[in-house]
Amino acid sequence: MKRAIVTGATSGIGAATVGALRGAGYAVLAVARRPDRLDGLAQETGAQILAADVRDIATIRAAVDDFKPDVLVNNAGVGHGIDGFAEAGDALIQEAVDVNVTSLLQLTGVVLPAMIENRAGHIVNIGSIAGLHTVASALYGATKAAVHIFSQNLRNELVGTGIRVTEICPGRVATEFYAAAKGDRERLDRMGSTGIRELDPKDVAAAILYAVGTPAHVNVATIELLPTDQAVGGIKLKASHETT
């Protein structure tokens, strides 16, 4: 039985991914901060659980060493600064980098030695279209751009090891993303209401399941996944003296 670790596992994409992997026959270790939700997830899916902040790499390292995953899904993340960079402040900037970038790098570093020794394994990083395209989210976009180039370069480094690296880059997904983000609440609430049919977390989980389910000689490098009613691109023009 293949084994997978999923971070940020108690809601949205993470919870859907745990369910999808369990349905495909994987043993899953679900990692998240909220013990009550983890308990419910364990009862619903049969996943093993670990209540830990992804920044607590010492605790997670011990669990990883015991679990020995074939697949790591780096899903945990925060949307801090999505409402604008100017008022983010030092604390939110640091937390965004710590959760979205540093923890992802550290956890990947924890699982790789055993994967390299086994000459098999799969790293799945949840990026964002904000890391691929110019959108109005400087801080969040910067962290996800880091995930993107890390995924690309790690794939390059690991050629010949048998390890695969996949980046999933969703657009708008119907999750708690905007509700959980820290910032100006009014702006965040407004940004969270689009009126379009957004992706369901299960749509993203299906893309992850596709990537990890391909034959060992196939590496799905990047999947850009958007709702039909969302597109990226274009030019924004606004005179600096214009009042709103």
Place of tokens 């308990």: 39
Contacts of 205 (CB under 8 A, 6+ apart): 13, 16, 17, 19, 20
Rounded CA-CA distance 86/99 in Å is 20
Whether residue 174 contacts residue 201, with contact meaning beta carbons closer than 8 Å, is answered with: yes
- Beta-carbon contacts of 55 under 8 Å, excluding residues fewer than 6 positions away, are 98, 99, 102, 103
Positions marked active-site: 140
* Amino acid making up residue 26: Y
Token pair, residue 207, equals 């893309």
